[in-house]
Amino acid sequence: MCGISGFYNPNRDYLKDKSYYTHVLEDMAAIQRHRGPDASGTWLFEHGGLSHARLSIIDLTNGSQPMKKTEAGKTFCIVYNGEIYNTEELRNDLIKKGHSFDTTCDTEVILTGYMEYGPDFARQLNGIFAYAIQDPYRECLCLCRDRAGVKPLFYTVRDDEIIFASELKGIFAYPGIRPYLDKKGLNEVFSIGPARTPGCGVFKDMKELLPGHMLLCSQDGFHLKSYWKLESHPHEDSYEETIEKTSFLVTDSIKRQMVSDVPICTFLSGGVDSSIVSAVCAAELKKQGRRLNTFSFDFVNNDQYFKASAFQPSQDRPFVDLMVKFLDSDHHYLECDNLTQADRLYDSVMAHDLPAMGDIDSSMLHFCSMVKPHNKVTLTGECADEIFGGYPWFHREDCFKAHAFPWTMDLQPRKSLLNDEFLNYLNMDEYVMETYEKSVAETPLLAEDSPTEARRREISYLNLRWFMQTLLNRMDRDSMYSGLEARVPFADHRIIEYVWNVPWDMKTRDGVVKNLLRQAGKGLLPDEILFRRKSPYPKTYDTNYEALLITRVREMMSDSKAPVMQFLDKNKLEHFLAKPSDYGKPWYGQLMAGPQMLAYLLQINYWLEIYSIGIV
């Protein structure tokens, strides 16, 4: 994984000020160096420039970027962030067509495939990626992002010029680009956050390239083009065939994503998702006489403070112990204390360039920093719940019937701390309803869908389009902040496409949540793991952590220069601080309850201050 950035203007000659713009490219790469600490490079051409910060995983010696190839006197150039998992098949096809290769890395395969097939070569890629290719034949710059949106790519357009980067900070490194928030951005933070409307970069005039899309930039303008979208088809496989195909797709994806010239590891929570990933990896490594490194995460003394709830029914540790013994993995138990978790809230903002999921983010960021000294590549169980229907809101009747995002059905907790003038300005209900209805309307339905099945599709689509993106953002930014590459085998587009059309009855046969995945995993795991009730990523229940946050919020309230206070009502906030927190009533997702509201406010305040954000 890496960090990419650059700029392009078909009506400008950047070479006339070569030294200046080369330095700009170097600055854009340097500020994203955490994504690629191993090497960096730049390339300036007449109409633009490309820069790259490299994390070397494949072909450690020869895979430097920007990478150039020349054909018939014309030079193509690419900067790329990601990993392609069908590289060998693509390379063999291109060799048959007469192409030769100087490296073994997937970067050269993408560039060569683009030269052979043009922009539509993206359809042939199985992987996670964001890339920019300077195309001298079509006289354009092509930006492209993977189907699931695993790898980020932000951009902004000023007149005829486009500036882009893996992270927003890369764009802000470009001269003259400053961070502003307008009404839309404020609504994204306070009404929808930590989620984001697809394609929205929160800051004024900032956009994120949509998953499954490319942006072609040329004299003809900037043209957004979809190369992949989710489609609904009748499911014709029997239940047994569905299990068999699902099992193949899942195991094949995991095996493909083990490709690396450096040792891999896995995150192991003891849940069915991460356990399946770890079991396949462990078995493959065992064939090579090697043991798998596994890592689990928890909080200091969490066994003393844990409170079971409908969202989090059990602790992970007993199930982790069972899986470690079963896999014979080289396991590492990682813990985070209260002060570290609170301090890391600010690093999380720097990783995202935005307020994030409070301590759900800060703890993951910290754990990733602890994994990096051991491994540069990890595989995770992320995305299985969105694809196979694992979250409670897939199954609860109130969520099913609600005309709202099922992970935030009640906006009242968000409103409860804001001052009345700001509330009237935001008009939160209208903003949220518009974004919700627009997303629901995009759901690909079948004419023969019953009203119930159609609603199932809507909830599934919302999860893929919204909630999964939030968690993918978290995983990318938190891992890449320490230069750790996190792979997500369940986000393979073949799995998404196939399972999308599997009827709900097959996904939850016999009333068992995610039963299709559990049946597909039979033989890989002990039944105690395979049929364990879902328990999400851990969070601390230590009231001392909440007390620490309250102290910091009170310090923020007493600071006359605290920027977030212009939006908050002090009396409402005092009332909130005095109330005991209900950990079982999250205001976002499954985990973000009272303490996470405080953490989110601290993140917003730090973000507004450290980025010197103007309100317009």
Q: At what angle do helices 272-287 and 239-256 cross, to 10 degrees?
A: 60
- pLDDT at residue 311, rounded to an integer: 55
Task: Give CA angle at 597 (593, 602), nearest 5°.
Answer: 150
- Residue 605, helix vs strand vs coil: helix
Report phi then psi at 581, rounded to 5. Answer: -75, 140
Predicted TM-score of the model (pTM): 0.95
3-class state of residue 80 by DSSP? strand
d(CA 405, CA 465): 11
> How many whole angstroms separate alpha carbon 433 and alpha carbon 554?
33
Which residue shows structure tokens 């494949």?
A: 58
Mean pLDDT by 10 residues, the chain (616 residues): 92 97 97 90 96 78 86 94 96 96 94 97 98 96 98 96 98 97 98 97 98 97 97 97 98 96 94 97 96 94 69 74 96 95 97 96 96 96 96 90 93 95 97 97 94 94 97 96 96 98 95 96 94 78 92 96 97 91 83 92 98 97
Q: What is the pLDDT of residue 1?
A: 59
Strands 180-181 vs 39-45: parallel, antiparallel or unpaired? unpaired
Backbone angles phi, psi at 339, to 5 degrees: -65, -40
Of 2, 105, 265, 281, which is the active-site residue?
Answer: 2
CA-closest candidate to residue 603, choices 563, 576, 561, 544 = 563
Half-sphere exposure of 196 toward its Cβ, with a 13 Å CA cutoff?
A: 26
**Residue 488's closest CA among 504, 475, 470?**
475
Round to whole Å and give the CA distance between 103 and 88. Answer: 12
Q: What pLDDT, on the 0 to 100 scale, is given for residue 55?
A: 77
Question: Looking at residue 305, what is its pLDDT?
Answer: 65
Q: At 466, which helix (H) or strand (E)?
A: none
Q: Give the whole-angstrom CA distance, residue 237 versus residue 433.
A: 37
Contact residues for 490 (Cβ-Cβ < 8 A; gap 6+): 250, 253, 273, 381, 382, 383, 384, 387
Q: Are 163 and 598 in contact (CB under 8 A)?
A: no
CA distance 456 to 503: 9
Say whether 105 is catalytic: no
Amino acid at 148: A
CA distance 332 to 316: 14
What amino acid occupies position 172? F
